């Protein structure tokens, strides 16, 4: 939100309305992302827990400098090669991912021939249908995991996210999970899936368990992934397998943590502040 | 939320209901805080932007180790001495602060004789009245800043948080602001107020502009502050002024940043993950 004065004080929550964010605003991009999320919260795509999760992501993105870092690019390249050599790739999406990047998800699914499957922690048929509609409006021709279609289960996952579509995750070899939860990533890995995670927190269980972790905002990571897939598409299988097999996730995560670490270090020395979390504090 | 299986999938958002969190759960405390916030979101105390802000706080709290650190204790001591020597101390609260620590805020106001003033970013009379009620149920006998009582303005603040009660902030010498926004902290400082901030992000503008910044969760910081005020109450004015004047906020903030920095450093070396953000990802 900009800090322009409001004409009335009778608004329960001015975030429910479209707000003009000037292009020049230093936080314009992040505020637009937040606005998109809030709109999708109102439409039922995003759960209230999704707003809290987004806040956590914002904090890590802010520590990373809100840009796609070198380690993220490295992971994206490995992810692109892995998706291109996969037999049955699946993109497993939740409310936040669809709210923030529905078009980007559909584009990626088309170029990689990956299925899109909806897997929600806070599941309801209504919510699933709303999410399906958003994906279809973004160009998706098939959306797995809706309603009774999610008839299979991932073992050892307690939440509703264990429900999966027999046409999707159970037969997948590679699963891309933007905004994943740790329990589920661990379970998918135990099932023998190659998990590609997009997670802004390089210290999370998801980040540590995935085969490839892209420490980046989905809003930036997914279109970049699509672009790199486009570039690698012409390479032969051997070359792609080389890229995927030489990628070291632990080492790459260490570099992402080190980036935050060095950024904090510089800031602590300088005694400067980072004003970017400060807008729209309630 | 625990990851126990749900009996029905027809729940739009299971967070709206009271959830059993087992005592043994490693994240029990943080999940209870989150549950409290969600309940107050449903009741109208907390705005949707407040949920996102809480998520940002969770991320920083997690980086701090979810405990009151030595630098936080040092700032709390300085804050206690400052409140005890203040002529007109005011505690300026928003929805999140009241949702998470209404009783603790009232206790602090009683022991320090500070006024409680409600100042909201997303202001409505209904919301103010709901917040007033929560504070009164927690034992408050006077709540400033409600409705037409907030007839004064803080200069140069654009949001509705510029509205203040003439009986509160305009005549205050010391203002305690849990969960503040940067614009407003800066404006309060320019007005000559001594600002005590409670902010989990040591890099924020609020943290950097305040005279005393307690880098801690309000849930832990406010009761600790009340306890230290109780201990320092018997000290003479000279002693209290000594404590307040020898406190160096920039130096103390540097130590808080350094703590996060060292924690990340250790974790990066070990290659261990911090599983604590992983519960209840949507």
Per residue in A160-191, pLDDT (tens digit) is 778 899 999 999 999 999 987 778 888 899 99
* pLDDT on residue B281: 34
Residues A113, A198, B3, CA angle at the centre, nearest 5°? 105
Which contacts of A190-198 are long-range, i.e. CB under 8 A and separated by 24 or more positions? A190/A155, A190/A156, A191/A154, A191/A155, A193/A169, A194/A82, A194/A86, A196/A79, A196/A82, A196/A83, A198/A222
* pLDDT on residue B151: 86
Q: Which helix (H) or strand (E) holds B92?
A: strand B89-93
| Confidence band of A100 (pLDDT split at 50, 70, 90) | very high
**Residues of A whose CB is below 8 A from B253:** 271
Are the Cβ atoms of A275 and B50 closer than 8 angstroms? no
Q: Residue B77 contacts by C-beta under 8 Å, 6 or more apart in sequence?
A: B228, B232, B243, B247
**Residues of B whose CB is below 8 A from A41:** 48
Task: For residues A49 and B172, give the distance between their C-alpha atoms in angstroms, rounded to a whole number.
Answer: 37
* pLDDT on residue B186: 87
For the cut 60, the answer to whether the pLDDT of residue A8 exceeds it is no
* pLDDT on residue A185: 87
Q: Which regions of chain B are under pLDDT 70?
A: 1-27, 267-282
* pLDDT on residue B268: 64
> Which of A121, A181, A280 lies at the smallest CB-CB distance from B49?
A280
A121 within 8 A of B280, measured Cβ to Cβ? yes
Task: For residues A164 and A153, give the distance between their C-alpha atoms in angstroms, rounded to a whole number.
Answer: 6
Per residue in A233-267, pLDDT (tens digit) is 999 999 999 999 999 998 899 889 888 888 877 76
A44 within 8 A of A122, measured Cβ to Cβ? no
* pLDDT on residue B10: 33
Per residue in A46-66, pLDDT (tens digit) is 999 899 999 999 999 988 988
Task: Tell me the average pLDDT across A81-88.
Answer: 98
For the cut 80, the answer to whether the pLDDT of residue A144 exceeds it is yes
Name the percent of chain A lying above pLDDT 90.
60
* pLDDT on residue A18: 43
The CA distance from B207 to the nearest CA of chain A, in Å, is 8
Using H for helix, E for strand and C for coil, what is the string for A64-77? Answer: HCCCCCHHHHHHHH
ipTM of the complex as predicted: 0.82
The CA distance from A244 to the nearest CA of chain B, in Å, is 21
Q: Given CB atoms, is A94 within the 8 Å cutoff of chain B?
A: yes
Name the percent of chain A lying above pLDDT 70.
85
B55 within 8 A of B38, measured Cβ to Cβ? no
Are the Cβ atoms of A56 and B55 closer than 8 angstroms? yes
Q: Given CB atoms, is A148 within the 8 Å cutoff of chain B?
A: no
* pLDDT on residue B20: 55
Are the Cβ atoms of A124 and B47 closer than 8 angstroms? no
* pLDDT on residue B2: 36
* pLDDT on residue A156: 75
> Which of B34, B44, B48 lies at the smallest CB-CB distance from A41?
B48
* pLDDT on residue B263: 81
The CA distance from B236 to the nearest CA of chain A, in Å, is 34
Residues 172 to 231 of A: which have CB under 8 A from any B CB?
179-183, 201, 203-208
For the cut 60, the answer to whether the pLDDT of residue A222 exceeds it is yes
Task: For residues A9 and B149, give the distance between their C-alpha atoms in angstroms, rounded to a whole number.
Answer: 13
* pLDDT on residue A227: 98
Are the Cβ atoms of A278 and B163 closer than 8 angstroms? no
| Confidence band of A22 (pLDDT split at 50, 70, 90) | low
Q: Given CB atoms, is A41 within the 8 Å cutoff of chain B?
A: yes
**Of B171, B157, B172, B89, which is closest to residue B123 (Cα–Cα)?**
B157
B199 within 8 A of B179, measured Cβ to Cβ? yes
- For chains A and B, what is the number of CB pairs under 8 angstroms? 250
Residue A149 corresponds to which tokens in the numbers above? 């279609």
């Amino acid at each position: 939100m900009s800090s322009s004065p409001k004409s009335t004080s009778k608004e329960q929550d001015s975030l429910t309305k479209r707000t003009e964010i000037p292009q020049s605003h230093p936080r314009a991009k992040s505020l637009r992302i937040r606005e998109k999320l809030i709109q999708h919260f109102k439409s039922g795509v995003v759960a209230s827990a999704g707003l809290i999760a987004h806040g956590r992501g914002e904090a890590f993105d802010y520590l990373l400098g809100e840009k796609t870092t070198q380690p993220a690019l490295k992971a994206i390249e490995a992810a692109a090669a892995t998706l291109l050599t996969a037999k049955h790739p699946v993109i497993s999406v939740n409310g936040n991912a669809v709210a923030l990047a529905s078009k980007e998800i559909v584009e990626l699914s088309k170029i990689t021939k990956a299925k899109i499957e909806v897997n929600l922690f806070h599941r309801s048929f209504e919510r699933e249908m709303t999410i399906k509609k958003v994906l279809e409006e973004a160009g998706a021709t098939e959306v797995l995991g809706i309603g009774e279609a999610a008839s299979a289960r991932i073992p050892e996952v307690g939440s509703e996210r264990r429900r999966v579509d027999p046409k999707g995750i159970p037969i997948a070899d590679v699963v891309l999970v933007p905004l994943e939860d740790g329990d589920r990533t661990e379970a998918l890995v135990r099932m023998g899936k190659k998990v590609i995670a997009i997670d802004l927190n390089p210290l999370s269980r998801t980040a540590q368990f995935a085969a490839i972790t892209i420490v980046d905002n989905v809003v930036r990571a997914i279109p970049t992934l699509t672009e790199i897939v486009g570039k690698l598409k012409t390479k032969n299988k051997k070359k792609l397998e080389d890229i995927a097999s030489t990628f070291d996730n632990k080492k790459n995560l260490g570099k992402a943590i080190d980036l935050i670490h060095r950024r904090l270090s510089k800031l602590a020395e300088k005694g400067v502040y980072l004003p970017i979390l400060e807008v729209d504090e309630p």
